[in-house]
Amino acid sequence: MAVERTEIIDLLKSIYPFRRLTDSELEQVVNSVTAVEYRSGQTINEQGEEAYTLYIVMEGKVHLSRGSDEEEEEIATLDIGDQFGFEALTAGSRRHFAASALEQCVLLEFDGAEIAQLTQTVPNLRIGLNMLRDSYNLSSRVNLNWRSPGESIYFIARRSILFLVLRFLTPILILSLTLPLLIWLLSILASGTTLLIILLGLDILIMGGLLVWHYIDWSNDYSIITNQRVLYQERVILIYESRQEAPLDAILSNQIITGLWGRWLGFGDVAVRTYSFSLALPDLDHPREVVALLEDQLARVKIQASQTEREQKRKVLEQRREAARKPSSHHLRPRPQSAPAQIKSGTIPNWLSYFLRMHIEKDGVLIYRTHWFILLRKIIIPTVSLLLLIIFLILRLANVLAFIALGPMLALLLFLIFVVGLWWVYQYVDWANDMYIIAEDQIIDIYKKPLSTEQRRTAQIKNILSVEFERIGFIGLIFNFGTVYIRVGEEEFTFDNVFNPSLVQREIFQRLAEKTRKERQSGRMTQWQDIADFFVLNEGITEDQIIQTESEEDDDELYVEDLELFNEDDQDDQE
């Protein structure tokens, strides 16, 4: 298909990382590109085939998927300016996903070998494409089951590898000191070798387990940018999982935070600020590149939102005109479309995964429990008593405490195991039944005693006046738990002894901001419907004039509201 060279250059100037290139560098890139047209439904590439080509969508939409036809998994729906096929930047790689045209489309195709060679002479292009390639490859290996249908991952990364190395240093240092010492003692001592062998095994097991734990903990935390939101996902296996996110259209500003070591070694935090809270993507390599990619997506979202709103306004105008043409004494507004039915997953959760979880997310609802230390405090005394009795029994069997009768001790042990077991079950159920829930439009405080009463308090998120938290005592600071205080009118809700109370506060603020944003958008469209009715009665005003005027008024109103919220938030931070 014949595509003007200037059209290709204009597209490249609007997308990361090509928009950072000079005119001469862009000319080099355009010399390596070919525009290819695909009809609707046509296969672009198959999953598993060898990758030779990098693609950019110039017109139309592309569908990415993986798996067989019977169990196809939708990965993303790509629009104009989106890129895919980064496997081609690594020689010998195979396609992670299958790609097909959702509608008639035009793709810009780069030969992988040529673009890889070009990156050697254009440093800005090399860093950006390598970052996008690494994100593309990582997204193919990570299960992100929270994604919306068609949501595209533009960036995903873990903390800088330097932080994993720093975590490894302590156990490696301990192991390097204790292992030679124990081996040396085994070689020179004639007796007591059994104890040394046990210590050697424990040393390797504990330090090796700590290394594995550090790797798993590091590998489970992700900073992500999609075509809809920015988010940070953090997870501690079987204990804790959180996801902090901000919609792209709610972001007011972003900044890079680096220390001295970060400036030297090329890592830092990327912080984004919304109407009511800040979100940090911590310790990322090449933070300036991440911000450049984020700004590119923010610009695209702003353009898409403006186009969508204009189309909605035109649709409302057309509905009003149709209603005005029909002979009727009453002109009623069209009934709003009902929300699509949501189908909940029927998967039975693994009991172990919820055993001591203090933060659970299910169908967009956040559930918090009190910290596990509170459960431990309730069961510690009977548990220690049971352990002491078991130790006494072992000593009795070894004839160290031969004066104690064995029969009564066994009977006492069995009785204590039964009683303590019941106590454990009761305390666990009591701990697990107390939940603090943050839903889309309300907060819920559930207090329930096993085989007894249940208290449930609810409040609308839009009525929240303030949210504060405090960590009390040395233990609360060490284990990072505390109480969150939520003021709703004259009432006060408390989320007692929850893990990471600052995150709970942020989640509530995030839901409040999202609720406010949606109500503001709904209010603007309601106002536009009134204006559309007026427009139908005043045919002298053109459609484009009234849409443009209303759009400018909306932008001014949003700017003032955002500025006020931003200033209020600054004042709160200073206080």
Q: Are 251 and 272 in contact (CB under 8 A)?
A: yes
Whether residue 383 lies inside any domain: the answer is: no
10 Å Cβ neighbour count for 48?
12
User: Do residue 134 and residue 183 come from a single domain?
Assistant: no
Looking at the DSSP bridge assignments, the partners of residue 108 are 35, 56
Q: 85 with 131, same domain?
A: yes
127 and 51 belong to one structural domain = yes
Last residue of a domain, one of 178, 197, 219: 219
pLDDT of residue 325: 64
Range of 165's domain? 161-219
Domain count, the chain: 2
Q: How does pLDDT run along the chain (575 residues), one tens digit per residue?
A: 568 889 999 999 989 999 888 888 888 889 889 999 999 999 999 999 999 999 999 999 999 999 877 778 888 899 999 999 999 998 889 999 999 999 999 999 999 888 888 888 887 788 999 999 999 999 999 988 778 777 889 999 999 999 999 999 999 999 999 999 988 888 887 666 777 888 889 999 999 999 999 999 999 999 999 988 898 988 876 666 677 888 888 888 899 999 899 999 999 999 998 876 788 999 999 999 999 999 999 988 888 777 777 777 777 767 766 766 665 444 444 444 433 333 333 343 444 445 677 888 877 788 888 888 888 888 888 888 888 888 888 877 777 777 777 788 888 888 888 888 898 888 888 888 888 998 888 888 988 888 777 888 888 888 887 777 887 777 887 888 888 888 887 788 889 988 888 788 778 877 877 777 777 777 777 776 666 666 655 554 455 554 555 454 444 444 444 444 444 444 544 44
Tokens of 333: 């507004």
* 546 in a structural domain: no
**Tell me, what DSSP letter sits at residue 355?**
S
> What is the reported pTM?
0.67
How many whole angstroms separate alpha carbon 150 and alpha carbon 160? 29
Q: What is the pLDDT of residue 105?
A: 94
Residues 96 and 17 in one domain: yes
Asked if residue 171 and residue 83 are part of one domain, the reply reads no
Distances (CA, A) of 96 to 66, 71, 84, 87, 156: 7, 16, 10, 8, 16
Task: Convert 468-528 into a string of H (helix), E (strand) and C (coil).
Answer: EEECCHHHHHHHCEEEEEEEECCEEEEEEEEECHHHHHHHHHHHHHHHHHHHHHHHHHHHH
> HSE-up of 150 (CA within 13 Å, CB side)?
8
- Same structural domain for residues 30 and 166? no
pLDDT for position 562: 46
DSSP state string for 392-456: HHHHHHTTTTTTS-HHHHHHHHHHHHHHHHHHHHHHHHHHHH-EEEE-SSEEEEEEE-TTS-EEE
Last residue of a domain, one of 200, 219, 238: 219
Token pair in block for residue 134: 């690494």
Same domain? 133 vs 6: yes
Q: Do 174 and 99 share a structural domain?
A: no
- Residues 171, 67: one domain? no
Residues 178 and 115 in one domain: no
Domain harbouring 127, CATH code: 2.60.120.10
Give the pLDDT of residue 290. 95
Is the CB of residue 227 less than 8 Å from the CB of residue 152? yes
- Asked if 236 and 503 touch (Cβ cutoff 8 Å), the reply is no
Distances (CA, A) of 88 to 53, 66, 101, 115, 137: 5, 17, 19, 9, 11
Give yes or no: residues 73 and 32 share one domain.
Answer: yes
